[in-house]
Amino acid sequence: MSALKPGSGTIRNSLSRPVDADYGEDWARELARPASGAGSTDAAAMVFRVGAEWLAVPLALAASVAPVAPVHRLPHRGGGGPLLGIVAAGGRLLPAVSLARLLEIDAGAAVPAGRHAFARLLVLAESGPQRGTGRSAGAFALPVDEVQGVVRYAGAALLPPAATVGRAPPPLVSGVLADAVRAAGDNGVAGSGAAGLLDAGRLMTALKGLLR
C-alpha cells in the first residue's frame, strides 16, 4: 500500500476552476482538517508547482491559497531579488516572494501541452499568536504556477533530498515525497510525480532574511 494518501476530492475540484465566491471557504475547510492518522500516514503537505519543479511545504505552514493579484514594488529596493514587493492576499498586505528566484528555479519553463493550470498565491504563515490576527509579520505570499493540493504521507517514507530541485541550497529541502503529485490528485502528471519537501523552519528563516 502506498505511503501517500490524497487530500479531499472537494479541494482538488476547486483547483481546476477559476476563483469564485466559495473558493476561499473550500481552502479554509481543507487546511483546517487534521492530518489523518489512518494507515501509515502521520504527516501532511501542500503540493504546488513553480516552473517545472514540483515542491511541497508542511501543511501547518500553509495558511491559505488566494487568487493572483498585482504586486507593488517596494521603494528603494532593486527588482531583481526574491523579494518582489507587497501584495494583497486574504485581506492583508503581505511580502511577496519569488520562490523561483530564491531556489534558482527556471520560472519560464513551459506548462506541458494539454495541462489546465491556474496560477495562485500560496500564503505561508508560522503557527502562533500572529497567525490569523491580520498582522503580516511571519506571513508571506508566494506566487506559484499551480497548487495541486494536500497529500498525507508517512514521515518515514521521505526520501533524501534530490540535487535536481533547481539549485536550491540543500538545507531548504528536507527530502523528497515520491509520487506526491499523483497522490494529491493528478494522475496525468508527466515524469516521476515527486515533489521536493521544503523545511518549514529554514524556509521561514530565509524568507524573513529578505526583509532585513
List the chain domain ranges.
4-209
User: Tell me, what's the pLDDT at 37?
Assistant: 46
Contact 47, 150 (CB under 8 A): yes
Architecture, CATH, for domain 4-209: Beta Barrel (2.40)
Contact 45, 55 (CB under 8 A): no
Amino acid at 184: A
* Distant-in-sequence, close-in-space partners of 124: CB < 8 Å, separation ≥ 6: 57, 61, 62, 63, 139, 140, 142, 203, 204, 207
C-alpha grid cell for residue 105?
528555479
User: Tell me, what's the pLDDT at 72?
Assistant: 95
pTM for the whole structure: 0.76
Consecutive 10-residue averages of pLDDT for the chain (212 residues)? 50 51 61 54 92 92 96 83 95 95 82 76 79 62 94 89 59 88 66 86 95 88
User: Tell me, what's the pLDDT at 80?
Assistant: 82
* CB count in 10 Å sphere of residue 136: 16
